[in-house]
Amino acid sequence: MTVLIIGICDSDTAVRVMLADFIKRYKSETGLAVQVLAYDNGEKLLQHYSFEMDLIFLEISFAKMSGIEIAKGIRKVDNKVGIVFLTTLLNHVLEAYEVRADNYLIKPLKYSRFLKEVEEARARKGQNRFFIEANANGIYKIYTQSIRFIETQEHNTRIHTESDSIVSYKRMKDHEAALYEPYFVRCHAGYIVNLLFFEKQEANHMILMSNGPASGEIIPVSRHRRAAVLERIRQLFP
Assess if CATH 3.40.50.300 describes domain 130-236: no
Q: Is this model's pTM higher than 0.95 or not?
A: no
pLDDT of residue 228: 92
Q: Where are the domains of the chain?
A: 3-125, 130-236
CATH architecture of 3-125: 3-Layer(aba) Sandwich (3.40)
For 125-158, how does the pLDDT look when each residue is reduced to its tens digit (9 = 90+)? 765 577 889 999 999 989 888 899 999 999 999 9
Tell me: pLDDT of 44 over 80. yes
Distance CA 144, CA 124 (A): 14
| Backbone Cα Rg of the chain | 20
Report which of 166, 220, 163, 170 is spatially closest to residue 193, judged by C-alpha positions: 220
Rounded to the nearest 10 degrees, what angle do helices 111-125 and 226-236 cross at?
80
Among residues 13, 120, 137, which one has the least CA distance to residue 159? 137
pLDDT at 213: 66
162-172 pLDDT per residue, tens: 889 999 999 99
Structure confidence by residue, pLDDT tens digits, 14-31: 999 999 999 999 999 888
Decide if pLDDT at 1 tops 70. no
